[in-house]
Amino acid sequence: MMRPFRKKFFLIMLLGLVASSFGGTANAAAPALQLSVSGKLVKSELSPIAVGGSVLVPLRTVSDALGATLSFTASTNTATIGKWQTSVALTAGSGIAKVTRWTQEPAELKLTSVPKIINGRMYVPIRFLSETFGYVVYYSGGTVFIRPPINPADQATLTSGSLEDARQLMIKLVFGSALRSEPEPLKPNHTSEYYGFSYLFPRGEALRFYYFEDDTVRWIEYREGFLVATYQARLNEDDPVRLFLQGKWTEARGSTPSPGKDGFYYYSYGYSGDNREESSGQVDAGGKLDVTAYYRKYGPPELNIGQIAYSLPGEARAERVKIDVPQV
C-alpha cells in the first residue's frame, strides 16, 4: 500500500511531466493577439482578447483603426460607432446591437459575443463591428486581419494599373459588396424591360466617375478599398446623361461634384432578356455624346461599329491623388 506522502510526490511529478509535454509550464501565458487593419499592425497598449471563440478589441483601438466616429454614454456603458452613415450602438453586458443606417429605424441584431468592461475599458466584438461596416475579417497565426472588401491585388490595379484596366475593374466593382453610400440611396424607378447602366469618367481618371442606373445618377469615388457614393440625384430615364450634364435633375442628395470640364470617357451597358449591348465613346461637358464603338448581341452585324475600349485615343492616366496600397 502506497503511503500518503508518496502519493503526493507521485502526483507532483505527473503534473510536471504533463506541463513539459506541452512545451512550457502549466501557468505559462498565451501569446497576445495582434490586430492588423488594411495591412498595418495596430499599435495599442491593450491587446485584443479571445473570449469563447470570439475576439474582443478595445473600443478606442478599433474605432481609430477603422477611421470611425465614437461616442460613449457612461451612465449606460453604451458606445456608438459610426461610419458610412451607419451607426452601431453596443452596450456592455448586452447581447443586442442596434444598427442604424441613414434615416432608417434602428435594427436590433443578436451578438455572438457580448461587449465587456475590463479594467475600466470597454471591449467590443471585432468581427461583428468590422463586417457591419463592410470589412473582411479573418484570423491567422495569432493575428486578427481586417481588410477592405476590395482585395490588395485589385487595389493595386485601381491605383497604379493602366487606365483601361482600372476603369474596367471599377465598372465591375459597382455591382459588388465594395459600394457604400454617404447620402441615403434613391431607389431607381424601372419602367421598361430594358436595363441600362452608363459610366462617365473624367478624362485621365479611373478613381472617380458618374454612374447612371435607370433614372438615377451617383457620383462614386474610390476610398480606402471601398467605392463610396457621395452624391445622388433623380433624372428623366429617357435621356439621363445629357439632362444631367445640362443641370436638369431632381431630388439631389449629397455634395454636388463638378468634374469633367474637359469632357468624359463614356461606357454604357444594357440588356433586355437574352440580348445585350455595349457602347463606348466620349461626352463633352454639355452632354453631347459621340459613340465610337457599339456592339449588340443577336443584332444585325452591320450595326456593330468599332471596338469597345476603356480609354479615349491618346488619353493618358492623370489621377489627382496617389494612393499607397498595402501589399498583404
Query: What are the pLDDT digits (tens) for 100-130?
Result: 999 999 999 999 999 999 999 999 999 999 9
Grid cell for residue 317: 492616366
Distance CA 43, CA 207 (A): 30
The position carrying cell 456608438 is 80
Across 288-296, average pLDDT: 93
pTM of the model: 0.83
Pick from 61, 29, 65: which is nearest to 47 by CA? 61
Angle at 62 between CA 61 and CA 65, to 5 degrees: 85
Q: Is the pLDDT of residue 237 over 80?
A: no
Domain with CATH 3.30.457.10 in the chain: 34-147
b or e along 21-52 (b: 16 or more beta carbons within 10 Å of the residue's beta carbon)?
eeeeeeeeeeeebbbbbbbeebebeeebeeee
Give the number of other CB atoms < 10 A from CB of residue 268. 19
**More confident: 87 or 244:** 87
* CATH T-level fold of 34-147: Copper Amine Oxidase; Chain A, domain 1 (3.30.457)
